[in-house]
Amino acid sequence: MKKNDISKEDKTIPTTRKSEKVYDVVALVDDLLQKAIETGASDAHFEPTSREIVIKFRLDGVLQAVEKLPKILGDNIIARLKVLGGVLTYRNDIPQEGRIQRDDKLNDGKVIDQRLAVFPTIHGQRAVVRFFYEESGLSELGNLGFSPCIYAALQEIAAQNQGVLLLTGPAGSGKSTTLAALLRFILQNFPGKSIVTLEDPVERHIEGVTQVQITPQGEMTFPTALRSLLRQDPEVLMIGEIRDAETARIAVEAGLTGHLLMSTMHSGSPTGALLRLLEMGIEPYQITSSITAVLNQRLVRKLCNNCKRKNVTTREYEPAGCEDCCRTGFKGRVLISELVQLDGQLRQAILAKADLDEMEGILRNRGHMNMYQDGMRLAQDGITSREELNKVCGQNG
């Protein structure tokens, strides 16, 4: 079977003996998870409807339906996933999260972790399995695909002894990969530094870094752990995500008191992240004194090298579709980004509590390169398409 061949073969489920049903569901679920890994899917969705259970794979960031199975199999499929994920099989009325033990014999060591999330719906339980792959080529900061100017700026920020670097972008935009690469860069270039991370959950193990996992319903929350860690004499801190005002306040204080801190925030733009800090009650002078830069990033699909074609009118490359890319015209993803470093004019705007339009105007006037403009360099080189950039960034950025 080819790597990208998603089989549509029917599964005959015997109905004579209960043991045979269980055995076939086990094989069916194993087969679906294996196919997801072989196609490089980041997630496998098991979605119940009124008539069937639909299996979808997220390939290069886009969901595609790959299998539709009889409704009667839904409960058994979800039950099997629950067993694999180590969650309660008899609770069907609450959300649950678990971890599926990886089988290196099946995935050749490509998958380092598999996370299960189950959620009740009106048609039954919905399950999503997320796959984390070993991506050795993306462990180095220089291999992530940043433009030369952003790469140089990130190196300078990593060399600093204090300040806060914020990463923004939606889920699945590569923020965790960038943070891990930054930590490895610091380890390689500034040996001896004390580095501690707070994560929920720990996604990638980094040798030489003290990594702490925050349990969602546990007593050790992000604010509690961060406040205590500041007494552990760390030099570099990484927080998985700033989710509330208390965490934001402690993070800003850490950046003011001789710590280099990196974290993520949910925001659509760098200026939006700065305004969100203001909305959380952080004083403007604290933001201007602690925040070094905000990095905003997305992942866009790469054109399939096997079938991409050049439009004779626009002279730009477009997707076509072939067996190698599952007829999508795209294969793999690449990073686009923008970096906003706080300068005097932007700091003055924050102190004056300027609105979003005013801050965006300051960036435009100083020639700031936004994500769409960063992505156009890739479109011009035939790596992605203008249509894909419009989809990810919005029309013309």
In this predicted structure, what is the pLDDT of residue 388? Answer: 94
Q: What's the pLDDT band for 32 if we cut at 50, 70, 90?
A: very high
Strand (E) positions, 14-110? 43-48, 52-59, 62-70, 96-100
pLDDT at 214: 87
Is pLDDT of 5 > 70? Answer: no
Q: What is the pLDDT of residue 113?
A: 86
Residues 97-114 have a mean pLDDT of 76
The 10s digit of each residue's pLDDT in 324-339 is 888 889 999 999 999 9
Question: Above pLDDT 70, what percent of the chain?
Answer: 91
pLDDT tens for 169-217 read 988 899 999 999 999 999 999 999 999 999 988 878 899 999 998 876 6
pLDDT-based confidence at residue 107 (cuts at 50, 70, 90)? low
Average pLDDT over residues 365-382: 93
Q: For 186, which DSSP code? A: H
Examine the pLDDT at 39 and tell me if it is beyond 80: yes
C-alpha 152/C-alpha 264 separation (Å) is: 20
Q: Fill in the amino acid letter for 191.
A: P
Rounded CA gap, 308 and 293, in Å?
37
What is the pLDDT of the chain when averaged over all its residues? Answer: 89
pLDDT at position 203: 77
Q: Is the pLDDT score of 17 beyond 80? A: no
Is the pLDDT reported for residue 73 higher than 60?
Answer: yes
Global confidence as pTM: 0.83
The 10s digit of each residue's pLDDT in 251-281 is 999 999 999 999 999 888 999 999 999 999 9
Q: What type of residue is 32?
A: L
Token output for 10:
């029917």
Question: Per-residue confidence at 141, pLDDT binned at 50, 70, 90?
Answer: very high
Q: What is the pLDDT of residue 132?
A: 86
Torsion of CA 197, 198, 199, 205, to 10 degrees: 30
pLDDT recorded at residue 165? 98
> What tokens appear for 242 in the block?
């700033």
Report the pLDDT value the prediction gives residue 397, as an integer from 0 to 100: 54
**pLDDT 10s digits, 61-72:** 889 999 999 999
Q: What is the structure's pLDDT at 395?
A: 59
pLDDT of residue 120: 96
Kindly write down the DSSP assignment for every residue of 220-241, as one continuous string: --HHHHHHHHTTS--SEEEES-
